Structure 1
Amino acid sequence: MEQATLQTPLGMATILGDRNGIRAIRVTDHSEGEDSIPPALAEACGQLREYFNGERTVFDLPLAPEGTDFQQTVWQALLGIPYGKTISYMDLAKQLGDPAAIRAVAAANGKNPLWIVIPCHRVIGSDGSLTGYAGGIHRKKWLLNHESANPQQSLF
């Protein structure tokens, strides 16, 4: 497994993977310097930079997240949420064929190891609230605003 770090507007991203695919992307508030980028992770780092620069709306990377069959099913469904759009946890559970599985869908969403690339930040509460996000609600809000056609401007 190879590793690269990349400074983003939301903190330091650590990308883990190899020639078979990207396994995990994590973000922390730490701001250590960027490492040299292994060739197997160069494309992922480049695409993440393009995303943050507003030049990319879809990722085209080999993905290899580790999870249960159910988690894999949920993560695959997340890939179908278009850039700039959101879906509720309930709608996602219904899309997967079992509205009663809303809590399991939410739990699988929270276990997504591929921050941004598998867009779990695009899932919101049925009332439009920004419920739960492993990377922190401030990051979820930033990502949704970044992807919005009409980003909110801060007055302060």
Structure 2
Amino acid sequence: MYKNIKIFTDGSCIYNPGPGGCAAILQYHKYEKIVTNSFFLTTNNRMELMASIIALESLKENCNIIITTDSNYLKEGITTWIYNWKKTNWKRNNKKKVKNIDLWKRLELSLVNHNVVWKWIKSHSSHYLNEKCDKLARISANNPINKDLGYINK
């Protein structure tokens, strides 16, 4: 039987590109787990993607998941745009290469064993867990620790 998990995510970047951080809050019944990461040189969109990736990769078994994000780029990218990108060899409508292909592929792979529903909410709309993720992502962005995943336009 699959566990029902709620995940709230956010990414933050100073200067864009610049130092960035991401955060996710995972909830299962009364339990809450927080995961964060940060990078010296990255973008806001990469951090939005990474927030969901680190949350999903932290799960140890198959789950039913609701992921709540304030990033339309993330939600639309993984629920709609990715199907066309894959058909067109990761090209957009203007024939330019999709940005962040490495992370889109990693995100897609992290979804394989889960049933996921994506939910978008307006940022800074007083949603407590979104605001908490935003704060944690900003703290992480101000304290970067990783060099290896930074600003890569793959």
TM-score, normalising length from structure 1? Answer: 0.25
- Higher strand fraction: Structure 1 or Structure 2? 2
The structure with higher relative contact order (CA 8 Å, sep 6+) is 2
